[in-house]
Chains A and B, each alone.
Chain A
Amino acid sequence: MELGSKTSKGKLVASGVIPFAFVILLIVYLFGSSGDLLDVGVSLPEVTIEKIDFVAGEIQATVRNTGHIPVEVVMADVNDRIQPAAIEPDRFLNRFETALVRIPFEWNESEPYTIGITTEDGTRFEKEIKAATQALKPSGELVGYFAIIGTYVGIIPVMIGLLWLPFIKRISKAKYNFFLAITVGLLLFLGIDAIEEATEVSAKFLAGSFNGILLIATVVILSFLGLYYSGNKLVKRADASPYAKPVALGLMIAIGIGLHNFGEGLAIGAAVGLGEVAFSTFLLVGFALHNTSEGFAIAAPMAKGKPMIGKLVGMGLIAGSPAIFGAWIGGFAYSPFTSIVFLSIGSGAIFQVAVAILGWIRKEDDKFLASASVVAGIAAGMLIMYITSILV
């Protein structure tokens, strides 16, 4: 019996591995000499200028080979005028390899610049910057500045939103379900919003070879599944005590929103760092209004449990403070790829939270989506978010 199971196990492994072996053989064959037969068409070089930094007396461009063939960077230009430059570590770029092109140039504040890179076959690639601004360097002052922005955008609005807790506590069950449904609406909106933002970053900054849209889809779904799985475990463990469950759900929401705010912080930090927006008070107000609803989303399930000020504040911090970290990273070490990944993680997390709350509503309300309060709540949530989003 044992012997039999062993051989069948061996067969199982073999049957799983054999196709892989053939795939490897195929690859070896295609890359081997016989592959020449299939070389039709011309592979064109492609270089993407991912990032441009303006520092004292110098313009720095981070370039990446995003094509299918190795390239050699042989020239740099500013506004289509040839400029001497340095390239580090060296001018030969394999697929996906990056280099830093440093162009000594006395640039002028807030003027637009187009930076160009020419490869050995004479093809030129360029990127335009609308207004040159000194690259942000981590300094105490800036760290503080981003922390303040993060606080205004993340922590404070969430905390204000949490103040709805006593109100939610006092209302009837039907009304309570309405408010829970509002949070679902809010979250759905936020999730879609994050995807939209990620798509925008992808279109603007990410080379086509990274398949931005597919990257977003993959990360959103992975994030959703990962959090759904771990969230379920958390809630199950909390099942033991009747008071722990609302806390668990609230925590889940807080974590989801925190991930979302991290992505939002990244976007804000990046926008400031890249000189794309002057971060105005107006914008700050918009973000703050928008994010107040996030606190509400945490407060809604928590209202069912015992009042726990400490836990509530903790959740506010979990949900809000990632905006600060996001702003730091976005401002000082921007990478479009990271931005898209985190925006997508945030989006997946938010959807996961929405689904969890829907599950909770279902338990509370038999009619579920057929109930007027639930439908009205989701609709109201989305509309609130849409209207506040116009302000951002």
Chain B
Amino acid sequence: MIIILVIAVMVSISYFIFPSISDAELEQKIFVTHSGAIVKTTGEILDPIYSVQTVDFDPDKFLREFNYGRVSMLEDGRTLREFTIIAEDDKTMEISPGIFYNVWTFNGTVPGPTIRATEGDIVRIKFINNGNKQHTMHFHGIHVAEMDGVFELVGPGGGQFTYEFEAGPVGVHPYHCHVMPLEEHIAHGLYGVFIVDPKEKRSPADEMVMVLNGFDTDFDTENNFYAANSIPFYYEHHPIQINTNQLIRVYVVNMVEFDPINNFHLHGNLYYYYPTGTNTVPSTYTDMITLSQTERGIMEFQYTYPGKYLFHAHKVEFSEKGWVGIFLVKENPANSLQGVEYGTWE
């Protein structure tokens, strides 16, 4: 009896002492990782480039997707743009390969759809809250108090509200839920971009939207991940393809919570920066801007030389947690200055 007991104890102890001694004969595989480090292993690789991600959200699609709404003409000749936005708060999204987080969404994605209108248009948004909590839509811009989305809480389980206002002023603005606790509602993903174009079009360009955001997946009021357009490191291993000698226009909106500032550094180039996009004259020509919460602007630049150029937060902690990407600049096939027509006007 004692012997059996002793053996049992020995076996159970040795189980803890020798944690899973693996077979040394296993084949070593080599991986080149996102940081350039090379990993040789018989096991698995932990790196965003190699991890499978079920793309709930496609940053490539989001980058150049603008929603102009259902367009009709009002009696007074103004353009009406109607949108339907549905809020939900029970979705789980793979926000970084292998990491699942409960996102709160406008129309199913973080960020929500980019809403675009021309100054003076009437924007009408049918807002439906299918979530389990109260939500609203609060637009930065000029509108009457009742349309501010702060005091008019929209109840859960199908509550509705119609926001209507005249698009303005010209520029790039955020919209977000404004229900308390506000930080929680924003940090979970209830935000998006609202672009108001000037009546006289901006010059043709390859246009894109970058929402700088982060996720606090362990709820310690510090972000675990940062990104341009939600998915960490995405544009690093899916470089954004652009052409030489073509005007690039980036609408940048900083929606990072918890951290007081974020910034945007461009490699091998400088850009003209229009804070909030409200002025036609750039405030600066630089490769580095600093953005506080919901601070935003328009960047314009073009590359002369083809190649790979990084863009990232120069608050390097953020870039090491995912807010880093690459522009893959290709020789312009036409080698012309012709740009992509911006806006497919309907």
Give 1 or 0 for each of A179-222: 1 = CB within 8 Å of chain B CB: 00000000000000000000000000000000000000000001
Q: Is the CB of B97 within 8 A of A86?
A: no
Given A83-B35, A122-B101, A74:B17 Cβ within 8 A: no
Q: Is the CB of B46 within 8 A of A85?
A: yes
Cα of A72 to Cα of B94 in the assembled complex, Å: 14
Stretch of A94-102, A132-140, A354-362, A365-373 at the chain-chain interface: A94-102
Q: Is the CB of A84 within 8 A of B96?
A: no
B38: Cβ under 8 A from any A Cβ: yes
Chain B's closest residue to A106 (CB) is B37
Cα of A62 to Cα of B21 in the assembled complex, Å: 12
A108: Cβ under 8 A from any B Cβ: no
A364: Cβ under 8 A from any B Cβ: no
Chain A's closest residue to B33 (CB) is A84
Q: Is the CB of A74 within 8 A of B46?
A: yes
A380: Cβ under 8 A from any B Cβ: no
Cβ contacts under 8 Å, B97 to chain A: 74
Cβ-Cβ contact count across A and B, 8 Å cutoff: 117
Q: Could you tell me the distance in whole angstroms from the C-beta of B6 to the nearest C-beta in chain A?
A: 8
Interface size class of A (residues with CB under 8 A): 35 or more
B131: Cβ under 8 A from any A Cβ: no
Residues of A73-120 contacting chain B, CB below 8 A:
73-76, 80-91, 97-102, 104-105, 118, 120
Q: Could you tell me the distance in whole angstroms from the C-beta of A102 to the nearest C-beta in chain B?
A: 6
Give 1 or 0 for each of A312-337: 1 = CB within 8 Å of chain B CB: 00000000000000000000010101
Cα of A100 to Cα of B96 in the assembled complex, Å: 22
B289: Cβ under 8 A from any A Cβ: no
B145: Cβ under 8 A from any A Cβ: no
Cα of A333 to Cα of B232 in the assembled complex, Å: 37
Q: Is the CB of B46 within 8 A of A91?
A: yes
Cα of A178 to Cα of B39 in the assembled complex, Å: 65
Chain B's closest residue to A88 (CB) is B43
Residues of B15-44 contacting chain A, CB below 8 A:
16-17, 19-20, 22, 26, 31, 33-35, 37-44
A341: Cβ under 8 A from any B Cβ: yes
Cβ contacts under 8 Å, A341 to chain B: 13
Cα of A81 to Cα of B224 in the assembled complex, Å: 9
Given A335-B17, A338-B13, A84:B46 Cβ within 8 A: yes
Interface size class of B (residues with CB under 8 A): 35 or more
B215: Cβ under 8 A from any A Cβ: yes
Q: Is the CB of A123 within 8 A of B217?
A: yes
Q: Is the interface of A mostly helix, strand, loop or mixed?
A: strand
Cβ contacts under 8 Å, A83 to chain B: 35, 37
Chain B's closest residue to A123 (CB) is B218
B56: Cβ under 8 A from any A Cβ: no
Chain A's closest residue to B217 (CB) is A122
A239: Cβ under 8 A from any B Cβ: no
Cα of A64 to Cα of B321 in the assembled complex, Å: 24
Q: Could you tell me the distance in whole angstroms from the C-beta of B32 to the nearest C-beta in chain A?
A: 9
B100: Cβ under 8 A from any A Cβ: yes
B98: Cβ under 8 A from any A Cβ: yes
Q: Is the CB of B99 within 8 A of A62?
A: no
Cβ contacts under 8 Å, B341 to chain A: none
Residues of B28-73 contacting chain A, CB below 8 A:
31, 33-35, 37-47, 49, 51
Cα of A122 to Cα of B41 in the assembled complex, Å: 24
Q: Could you tell me the distance in whole angstroms from the C-beta of A278 to the nearest C-beta in chain B?
A: 27
A128: Cβ under 8 A from any B Cβ: no
Q: Could you tell me the distance in whole angstroms from the C-beta of B102 to the nearest C-beta in chain A?
A: 9
A121: Cβ under 8 A from any B Cβ: yes
Cα of A82 to Cα of B318 in the assembled complex, Å: 10
Cβ contacts under 8 Å, B98 to chain A: 72, 74-75, 120
Cα of A89 to Cα of B51 in the assembled complex, Å: 16
Cβ contacts under 8 Å, A91 to chain B: 43-44, 46
B317: Cβ under 8 A from any A Cβ: yes
Q: Is the CB of A86 within 8 A of B37?
A: no
Given A121-B217, A122-B100, A122-B218, A84:B35 Cβ within 8 A: yes
Cβ contacts under 8 Å, B39 to chain A: 84-86, 102, 104
Q: Is the CB of A86 within 8 A of B41?
A: yes
Cβ contacts under 8 Å, B13 to chain A: 337-338, 341
Cα of A86 to Cα of B51 in the assembled complex, Å: 12
Q: Could you tell me the distance in whole angstroms from the C-beta of A291 to the nearest C-beta in chain B?
A: 26
A124: Cβ under 8 A from any B Cβ: yes
Cβ contacts under 8 Å, A87 to chain B: 41, 43-46
Cα of A101 to Cα of B41 in the assembled complex, Å: 10
Q: Is the CB of B16 within 8 A of A124?
A: no
Given A87-B44, A122-B100, A64:B19 Cβ within 8 A: yes
Given A85-B47, A123-B218, A102:B41 Cβ within 8 A: yes
Most-contacted residue by chain B among A75, A89, A98, A105 (CB, 10 A): A75
Q: Is the CB of B41 within 8 A of A88?
A: yes
Q: Could you tell me the distance in whole angstroms from the C-beta of B260 to the nearest C-beta in chain A?
A: 18
Cα of A76 to Cα of B47 in the assembled complex, Å: 9
Cβ contacts under 8 Å, A98 to chain B: 19-20
Q: Is the CB of B31 within 8 A of A86?
A: yes
Cβ contacts under 8 Å, A62 to chain B: 19
Across the interface, B321 reaches (CB within 8 A) one of A81, A88, A102, A335, namely A81
State the B residues within 8 Å of A (CB). 9, 13, 16-17, 19-20, 22, 26, 31, 33-35, 37-47, 49, 51, 95-101, 215, 217-218, 224, 232, 317, 320-322
Pick 6 A–B contacts, CB within 8 A, sort by A: A81-B320, A86-B44, A118-B217, A121-B101, A123-B217, A123-B218
**Assuming A86-B45, A88-B41, A120-B99, what are 5 further A-B pairs, CB within 8 angstroms?**
A74-B98, A81-B321, A89-B43, A104-B38, A338-B13
